[in-house]
Amino acid sequence: ETGVTQSPTHLIKTRGQQVTLRCSSQSGHNTVSWYQQALGQGPQFIFQYYREEENGRGNFPPRFSGLQFPNYSSELNVNALELDDSALYLCASSPDSSSGNTIYFGEGSWLTVV
């Protein structure tokens, strides 16, 4: 039990639709990052939020966007869904933005795009 909770756990969307995934970070953790894990691959960093600001981004297009709220929970939004967006989306929280050595993942959200 990492204290990081994600919702929904599974969802199916149609190509072209939009999706919002949610994450509540572990108590006391002010930094949330999002990863995409395609089948058979390691997770890939999408972006990180620290105190409601995006402060790091991986190689993902602008249709991947996010928010962080004052209570440090976060959302990942994906617009114009493509078949290749089908993956496990992971949220990770850490105590701070730049020296975290305890980076815990939530249970993930499985997204299938048809």
Q: What span, in angstroms and rounded, lies between the C-alpha atoms of 25 and 3? A: 7
Nearer to another protein among residue 18 and residue 54 (C-beta) = 54
Nearer to another protein among residue 36 and residue 81 (C-beta) = 36
The first and second tokens of residue 28, run together, are: 């006391």
Nearer to another protein among residue 11 and residue 88 (C-beta) = 88
Q: Which residues bind another protein (CB under 8 A)?
A: 2, 31, 33, 35, 40-45, 48, 50, 55-56, 58, 88, 90, 92, 94, 97-98, 100-108
Please report how close the Cβ of residue 3 comes to another protein at its closest, in angstroms: 12
**36-65 burial, b for 16+ CB within 10 Å, e for fewer?**
bbeeeeebeebbbbbeeeeeeeeeeeeebb
